[in-house]
Amino acid sequence: MSTLRRIDDEVRSYHWFVKALMVVVLVGAVAAMLRFVYGLGATTNLNDTYPWGLWISFDVVTAVPLAAGAFTLGAIVHCFNIKKLEPLVRPSIVTGFLGYSLVSVGLLLDLGQPQRAWHVLWYWNVHSPMFEVSMCIMLYTTVLFLEFLEPVAQKFGWKVSLRLLRWLEMPLAIAAAAISTLHQSSLGTFFLIAVDKLHSLWYNPLLPLLFWVSAICSGMCIIILEATACHKWMGEPNEGLLLRTLSKILPWTLGAYLALRVYSLVLLSVGPFFNRPWLTLSFLLEVGVGFLVPFIMFCNKAVRENDSRRALAAGLVVFGLVLNRFNVSMFGMMDPQNPYFPTAIESLVTLSIIAAHILFFVLIAKYFPIFEHHPETVDYRIPHRPVKTAGVSGQSAGRG
Amino acid sequence: MSFNRDFSRDGTFLIDLTKCTGCRGCQVACKQWNQLPAEHTEFFSGEGYQNPPAMSEYTYTRIKFRDYQKNGQHEFAFYKEMCMHCNEPACASVCPVGAFEKTAEGPVFYKDNRCIGCRFCMIACPFGVPKYEWSKALPLVKKCTGCLERVKEGLHPACATTCPTAITYGPRDEMIKLGKERLLKSPERYVQKAYGYQEAGGTSVIYLTALPFDELGFKQVTKRALPEYTWEALRLVPGIFLTAGAGLSALAWITHRRERLRQELEKERAALAAEEAKEDQE
Ligand code: SF4
Ligand code: SF4
């Protein structure tokens, strides 16, 4: 009784915004139940013309690149050894872990036979990009879970596992980057099969590569947005200095993306390109506002060093990425005479997935050492000879 | 995937639409053989006289009608829509659980006990064939079976058996030969092309028509087998995985080693400096 009481009191003490998020998540959960009771046909606007809708376009195709920050930062910090950025790794891992868990939820909701999801593990089809992405998502969620265990172990003072996890940090970061490279790009491969269906502004053989590079860009931008927001609204420390370093990398990746995009459009695609005004507009918004403008902004030192302008530029990249994924997976394949709109239930479920992401992030940040982790002083070398055991427990406790 | 298999003996439909009378016996035979319920439809709910308005979970094949003018006369042209039983099916290549199989007999068979319901097959099929059981809580995919059970027993598919005029069924090479003969013999009767001969890399349904294909509602489809488009990227997967893994490991090793050396050097220098300081003191 008293535990319930305590939980109740705790929840009551939350900020109204957190409570509002909880309500949205609950409503979404009910909407998701309706889908299982009444079926996809009754609750969504999916049909034989539009077998994929909002849930695939957002919950899977868009959410996965938005959660790419974890592997990008892991590689930057642990492989490129830019250790300065280490404090950003934990929040990005939490984001990634939440993101991928929710992608799995979205995917299960969308499957017609979710109880058979395990079939993917049993009946392999290596020719299927969907097989590849599903396998990677399962593997990568496991990796993220292991990485996420570190603050958990620290919170509960499990010293041995903390040491083990710390030792695993590097191999996990490498595995994360390799697995992510595969599935981020394979999401692009999905649409290579849509020859003659996807509009030429987006269809080209480089789609997988473009998906990968843009995922890297947006992953970093999400970290910028997240850290800025946490500083502003949650009273977390200002990571401005680190974000400045991070945003120095962005002109390179965004520039590479734009160059690849132009190359693939000019040399690898066959028109017609500008035959559909709405698609042209969507394309211009995506590439212009979503990639070109922030590229120019990030090239500018004044933008990189100003917290709010940097966040704005990052926001534009996220906008560009979302629009790009929708253009590829939805708008670019739509029949203008008979367009698709999501139902209220579809929209609610997606909305509550976003809300769940923010909610869980806030709660985890509240109860686990996500931001306090500033290990500038920590020695991150892989121990090349065993450390004497006497010092270990004290040392690892001190490390957090 | 059956890249480079020989498809010439696969059971194939040769559908001569100039001989089709629009009786729709095939539609009825298909429903009967597959025990598919009737649909509640209205006349003229689709583009013309055709009914039902589209293929669906209950309708695997359907005759499309097109009326047009020829020498001041009203004429009808028809198009029998169905699964094309592609030689290298897009549906089979994208399915994560391999629920589709191009059988040795010719038909592309759907194993409904495997399907997880991701509907990628519906996105991938260039002809828009697989349909979904939208009415159900746990739906499956539905499409023409090519009457695999009948074909295995040496029978012809239900629609081909019923059709009084237009459908011939037999090995692919013979059907192609027959089609070519007809195009040569009466060039005034046909568009000089057989749809399905090369479409999507070749299919087990081949059409001859009098009207241009696009006017009848045939889709413009690439001549390359669709699985090649995705395989071009997917075949790189193991290589990319190994390169990324090894590359990053090497990078990590180098950067960390460099750092270790630097720190050791610093330590040595510090030690040296300390010693010197000590000596100075003494
Ligand atoms: S027509 Fe479509 S469903 Fe039929 S075999 Fe070809 S790809 Fe598969
Ligand atoms: S819906 Fe079923 S048959 Fe179609 S691709 Fe997905 S798992 Fe395969």
Give the pTM: 0.89
A380: nearest CA in chain B? B256
Percentage of the residues of chain A whose pLDDT score is greater than 90? 58
HSE value, Cβ hemisphere, 13 Å, CA-based, for B46? 15
Give the ligand 2 atom nearest the CA of B98: 8
3-state secondary structure of B132: strand
Calculate the dihedral angle through the C-alpha atoms of A9, A15, A18, A20, rounding to the nearest 10 degrees: 100
Q: Are B142 and B121 in contact (CB under 8 A)?
A: no
* Residue A42: pLDDT over 80: yes
Determine whether A125 is exposed, middle or buried from the number of CB atoms within 10 Å of its CB (0-12, 13-18, 19+): buried
* Residue B190: pLDDT over 90: yes
What pLDDT shows up at residue A350? 94
Q: Among all ligands shown, which has an atom nearest to the Cα of A117?
A: 2
What pLDDT shows up at residue A283? 95
Structure tokens at A130: 């969907």
Q: What is the mean pLDDT of chain A?
A: 87
What pLDDT shows up at residue A391? 41
| Interval A122-159: pLDDT, tens | 999 999 999 999 999 999 999 999 888 888 888 887 87
| Interval A340-367: pLDDT, tens | 999 999 999 999 999 999 999 989 988 8
Query: Which is nearest to B17 in space by CA: B219, B163, B203?
Result: B163
Given pLDDT bands bounded at 50, 70 and 90, which one contains residue A380? very low
Q: Average pLDDT for residues A210-220, to the nearest whole number?
A: 95
Query: Which is nearest to B64 in space by CA: B218, B222, B168?
Result: B218
What pLDDT shows up at residue A373? 57
B251: nearest CA in chain A? A79
What pLDDT shows up at residue A201? 94
CB contact (8 A) between residue B96 and residue A78:
no
DSSP letters spanning A60-87: IIIHHHHTTHHHHHHIIIIIS--GGGGG
Determine whether A14 is exposed, middle or buried from the number of CB atoms within 10 Å of its CB (0-12, 13-18, 19+): middle
Is residue B85 in contact with ligand 1, taking CB distance under 6 Å? yes
CB contact (8 A) between residue B95 and residue A125:
yes
* Residue B280: pLDDT over 60: yes
What pLDDT shows up at residue A178? 92
The whole-angstrom distance between A133's CA and the closest CA on chain B is 9
* Residue B1: pLDDT over 80: no
Count of structural domains within chain A: 1
Query: Which is nearest to A334 in space by CA: A51, A59, A55?
Result: A51
Q: Which of B102, B108, B109, B116 to mutate to test the pocket of ligand 2 (most atoms within 8 A of CB)?
A: B116
- The ipTM estimated for the assembled molecules is 0.88
* Residue A297: pLDDT over 80: yes
Structure tokens at B186: 């009466």
Q: Are B63 and B20 in contact (CB under 8 A)?
A: yes
Given pLDDT bands bounded at 50, 70 and 90, which one contains residue B170? very high
CB contact (8 A) between residue A119 and residue B132:
no
- Say whether residue A383 is in contact with chain B using an 8 A CB cutoff: no
Determine whether A256 is exposed, middle or buried from the number of CB atoms within 10 Å of its CB (0-12, 13-18, 19+): middle
| Interval A316-325: pLDDT, tens | 999 999 999 9
Whether A165 is covered by a domain: the verdict is yes
Q: Are B204 and B10 in contact (CB under 8 A)?
A: yes
Distance from the CA of B199 to the center of ligand 1, in angstroms? 11
CB contact (8 A) between residue B136 and residue A39:
yes
Whether A390 is covered by a domain: the verdict is yes
The whole-angstrom distance between A286's CA and the closest CA on chain B is 24
What pLDDT shows up at residue B31? 95
CB contact (8 A) between residue B123 and residue A52:
yes
Is residue B95 in contact with ligand 2, taking CB distance under 6 Å? yes
| Interval A100-126: pLDDT, tens | 999 999 999 999 999 999 999 999 999
Whether A367 is covered by a domain: the verdict is yes
Whether A3 is covered by a domain: the verdict is no
* Residue A165: pLDDT over 90: no
Range of the domain at A202: 16-398
Selected for mutation to probe chain A from B100, B119, B129, B232 (highest A CB count within 10 Å) is: B119
Tell the residue number behind the tokens 């696009």, with chain if given. Answer: B214
| Interval B96-135: pLDDT, tens | 999 999 999 999 999 999 999 999 999 999 999 999 999 8
Q: What gap in Å lies between CA A155 and CA A295, rounded to an integer?
A: 39
Is residue B121 in contact with ligand 2, taking CB distance under 6 Å? yes
Whether A39 is covered by a domain: the verdict is yes
Given pLDDT bands bounded at 50, 70 and 90, which one contains residue B179? very high
Whether A6 is covered by a domain: the verdict is no
* Residue B236: pLDDT over 80: yes
Backbone phi, psi, residue A215, to 5°: -65, -40
Selected for mutation to probe chain A from B221, B234, B235, B242 (highest A CB count within 10 Å) is: B234
Q: Are A31 and A348 in contact (CB under 8 A)?
A: yes
Q: What gap in Å lies between CA A64 and CA A186, rounded to an integer?
A: 11
Strand partners, B203: B86
What pLDDT shows up at residue B65? 87
Give A 52-111 residues with CB within 8 A of chain B: 52, 75, 78-81, 110-111
Query: Please, what sign has the CA dihedral across residues B77, B82, B88, B92?
Result: positive
Selected for mutation to probe chain B from A127, A138, A172 (highest B CB count within 10 Å) is: A127
Strand partners, B68: B75
Whether A135 is covered by a domain: the verdict is yes
- Say whether residue A16 is in contact with chain B using an 8 A CB cutoff: no
Query: Which is nearest to B145 in space by CA: B237, B29, B250?
Result: B29
Selected for mutation to probe chain A from B138, B220, B221, B224 (highest A CB count within 10 Å) is: B138
Length of chain A: 400
Q: Average pLDDT for residues A261-285, to the nearest whole number?
A: 91
What pLDDT shows up at residue A400? 33
Is residue B84 in contact with ligand 1, taking CB distance under 6 Å? yes
Residues of chain A in contact with residue B248, where contact means CB-CB under 8 angstroms, are 75, 79, 173-174, 177-178
Q: Give the domain CATH number at A56.
A: 1.20.1630.10
Determine whether B209 is exposed, middle or buried from the number of CB atoms within 10 Å of its CB (0-12, 13-18, 19+): buried
Is residue B86 in contact with ligand 1, taking CB distance under 6 Å? yes
Q: Are B60 and B158 in contact (CB under 8 A)?
A: no
Q: For the packed helices A240-263 and A207-234, what is the interaxial angle rounded to 10 degrees?
A: 160
- Say whether residue A47 is in contact with chain B using an 8 A CB cutoff: yes
What pLDDT shows up at residue A1? 60
What pLDDT shows up at residue B35? 95
What pLDDT shows up at residue A387? 47
CB contact (8 A) between residue A132 and residue B230:
no
Given pLDDT bands bounded at 50, 70 and 90, which one contains residue B81? very high
Strand B205-208 with B11-16, pairing: parallel
Residues of chain B in contact with residue A190, where contact means CB-CB under 8 angstroms, are 120, 123
Cβ partners under 8 Å of residue B222, min gap 6? A195, A196, B126, B199, B200
CB contact (8 A) between residue A178 and residue B134:
no
Is residue B91 in contact with ligand 1, taking CB distance under 6 Å? yes
What pLDDT shows up at residue A376? 47
Is residue B130 in contact with ligand 1, taking CB distance under 6 Å? yes
Given pLDDT bands bounded at 50, 70 and 90, which one contains residue A379? very low
Whether A11 is covered by a domain: the verdict is no
Is residue B120 in contact with ligand 2, taking CB distance under 6 Å? yes
CB contact (8 A) between residue B256 and residue A129:
no
